[in-house]
Structure 1
Amino acid sequence: MPWCIRSEIREISNQAQEIHDDIRNGQLLIHAHAQDGHTTVAVGTYLHRGGKSVYLHGEDHLRQVADTFDSPAKALLAFEKVHSAEMRPGPAPLTDTERAAIEARSVFDVTTAEPEPRPKPETVPVYLADAGDHDALLDTFLDTHGEFEKWQTWSDDTTHAIHESQTLRIERVHETPAHETAWTVAAYETPVSDRTWHLTATGATPAPVLQNLLIHLADGDGWDAVIGAVDERTVTTATQPLTEAGWKHTLTGHGIRWTSPDGQAGVRFDPLTAQDPQNTATWTIWAGPDPDRPTWTITTSPHTPSSLLASLSEALAHETGTRQAQADREHGARLAASAPAAPAVTASRPTSRSH
């Protein structure tokens, strides 16, 4: 870096150190690496920062984020397109500098018992992924989409993201228990008309699923409600990705259900409620061992755009996410069980504008 001034060298090195620490601490999961000339490149996904995927270039103090992606699938596809011949799974071998640093630290650890290694996060179907940080996900969305204004209630319990057209509104209720509604999306034909469709998601909904939803809303071309009665064509369009992925299609007392091959997730359409535009559960997306005891759910009204439902179906059928290893999940569950119950939060009309 002979062309950099001293402050720039420090900044580049600090960024490289942060990437190294995130990888070492299991916060940045590396999917694959490759040799690119005289240096190493890699692709991975953060388990925080909204779950973004990154393309890394360089080694040691020169490692940097060269590109970002919305999902691990897109990142891996772009990486394979450029480095298919040299691509190898997992992180790259340690560099000489990294090995030397480990040996230097070990000198001071001779009399200290080594802690048990932290289990690495596992890659799972997106519907089994951890909930992640929903607040960070919303903050990232607002930072990158200036067409949405941020509003908060007087108590700061609830944040509203309102599109500049005033016809799409996203409500995020903070500190929500896993099985209660944490997100509500509502669309309107005009700023003063009744709702045309709405959607809710519970607090344990995986961050990658919510990210897919927010990306679709930001595109701005999938808000139009289904006009008229929900017919067979609408249902087929919304669920075609599931059918093509081999999800089991059955008729139940509640309507039509599509179940994942592992039985851990499903999508249900209830035709009996499709006649009421304000019904909250014509479509239900869930994950868990039993649809009556779901880990998380998304419910939508009958006129929810079929393109939005198809986008969610595509994510459920093909995308992946990460979750903590079993031991960490059980420890987290015990802590949650012993913690006092969170107070109920009631959404109210936005009264103050943050920017």
Structure 2
Amino acid sequence: MPATPSFDTHVLLDTHATHPSAVTAVLSGPQARILQVALEAANWVAVAENRLVLARIDREEPYWARVAAQRLEADGITVEITPRLQEAIDHAAEMRPGPAPLTETERDALAARSVFDVTATKSGPSRPEQETVPVYLADAGDHDALLDTFLDAHGEFEKWRTWSDDTTHAIHESQTLRIERVHEAPAHETAWTVAAYETPVSDRVWVLTATGATPAPVLQRLLTHLADGDGWDALIGATPKMKQIAAATQPLADAGWTYVLNGQGFRCTSPDGNAGVQFDPLTAQRPQKPATWTIWAGTGPDRPTWAITASSHTPEPLLAGLSESLAHDTGTRRPQPDHEHKARLAASALAVTAGRPASRSR
């Protein structure tokens, strides 16, 4: 009997911070991507890189988390279950021994899509439920889970909820950086607002907003820069100079994005035409105007699928970080099998691949 192969991968299972019945999985290790595809095929949903959520209508997430853990461990994968999730698993076991027995049809379907069989994964790739695309074409993902993870990892931000519980504020310990998250914002309306102040009682220096459909990896890049203190307190100046503007968009130029200058400023567009960055020098004269910079995906900044706007004082390193994400990051979305979509996706993939450097250090 052949020995069970092992994977150099670690899985941390926990209950969701704001949705107690849901379960989160955080993956680490060189083969985390393979495992993510496997869990997605078992109805886990990717909300960020190497982070998934299991949510079910029947509220049986702890039971199925235990099943997943047993199968992963059987394949040599290290699984860690937090005490609070273990308590939920134990409680579910006391309340009922598990869901009703599977029907023969359900057993056949489960066997057919089993992704935990290592030999099956080696025989050929299975069709994933989601496809990898340039980050600007990705689905929004779980913004609430993204914020929860950020706050759990960065104690320098304090969490506040409004009385109606529909908005969360994350305030830096310096009281000069504030993040507002509107939880039920529609896809095309503002769901995130980041504002910086010179002092806790001064007027706002710069502001950035993002709509509800903004892909989670882009927001993750933004939050990373904020947490690192990577220039969010360094102003770009009352009126950005061309040198500063070029530095903020340099990753896009390196990736082959197209620049167009006109009387209203400049626009930088992705090779496939599905995303862009626009700078408006007229609004740059008014520091409180939020849309000096506009980052969008879709047909244009006037009818975007999602959009980020930033005022003229927004720091250059932060803008450059967002440009870096647009140029090189990827995300996932549900497949769209129509022929026109396939052509667009192929062009986008080639554009990102061509623009990605062989190695990057930071």
Give the TM-score normalised by structure 2.
Answer: 0.64
Q: Please state whether the residue corresponding to 1:315 is helix, strand or coil.
A: helix
Identity of aligned residues (%): 64
Of residues 118, 136, 139, the one that matches 1:130 is 139
Matches within 5 A, 1:1-355: 44=36, 48=45, 50-53=47-50, 60-64=74-78, 108-109=104-105, 120-223=129-232, 224-252=234-262, 254-326=264-336
Q: Distance in 2 between matches of 1:246 and 1:134?
A: 30
- How far off its partner does 1:266 sit? 0.2
| Structure 2 letter corresponding to 1:109 | T
Contact map agreement 1:13 1:62 (CA 8 A) in 2: no
Q: Distance in 1 between matches of 2:73 and 2:207?
A: 47
- How far off its partner does 1:60 sit? 2.7
| Structure 2 letter corresponding to 1:64 | T
Contact map agreement 1:246 1:261 (CA 8 A) in 2: yes
The unaligned stretches of length 5 or more in structure 2 are 1-9, 14-24, 52-71, 81-100, 114-126, 339-362
1:305-353: per-residue Cα shift (whole Å, max 9, x none)?
Answer: 000000000010011011011279xxxxxxxxxxxxxxxxxxxxxxxxx
Contact map agreement 2:295 2:301 (CA 8 A) in 1: no
Q: Please state whether the residue corresponding to 1:62 is helix, strand or coil.
A: coil
**Closer, same or farther in 2 for the Cα pair 1:111/1:236, shift >3 Å?**
closer
Contact map agreement 2:276 2:300 (CA 8 A) in 1: no
Q: Distance in 2 between matches of 1:295 and 1:14?
A: 33
**Closer, same or farther in 2 for the Cα pair 1:314/1:43, shift >3 Å?**
farther
Q: Distance in 2 between matches of 1:196 and 1:307?
A: 16
Q: Distance in 2 between matches of 1:65 and 1:192?
A: 47
Contact map agreement 1:32 1:42 (CA 8 A) in 2: no
- How far off its partner does 1:255 sit? 1.9
**Closer, same or farther in 2 for the Cα pair 1:13/1:213, shift >3 Å?**
closer
Query: How many residues are paired up?
Result: 260
C-alpha RMSD over aligned residues: 3.6
The unaligned stretches of length 5 or more in structure 1 are 1-11, 16-26, 35-40, 67-104, 329-355
1:7-47: per-residue Cα shift (whole Å, max 9, x none)?
Answer: xxxxx9996xxxxxxxxxxx99999859xxxxxx9564777
Q: Distance in 1 between matches of 2:103 and 2:46?
A: 34
| Structure 2 letter corresponding to 1:235 | I
| Structure 2 letter corresponding to 1:52 | E
**Closer, same or farther in 2 for the Cα pair 1:256/1:44, shift >3 Å?**
same
**Closer, same or farther in 2 for the Cα pair 1:110/1:132, shift >3 Å?**
closer
**Closer, same or farther in 2 for the Cα pair 1:162/1:48, shift >3 Å?**
farther
1:46-93: per-residue Cα shift (whole Å, max 9, x none)?
Answer: 774641327xxx863531269xxxxxxxxxxxxxxxxxxxxxxxxxxx
Q: Distance in 1 between matches of 2:31 and 2:11?
A: 21
Counterpart for residue 345 of structure 1: none
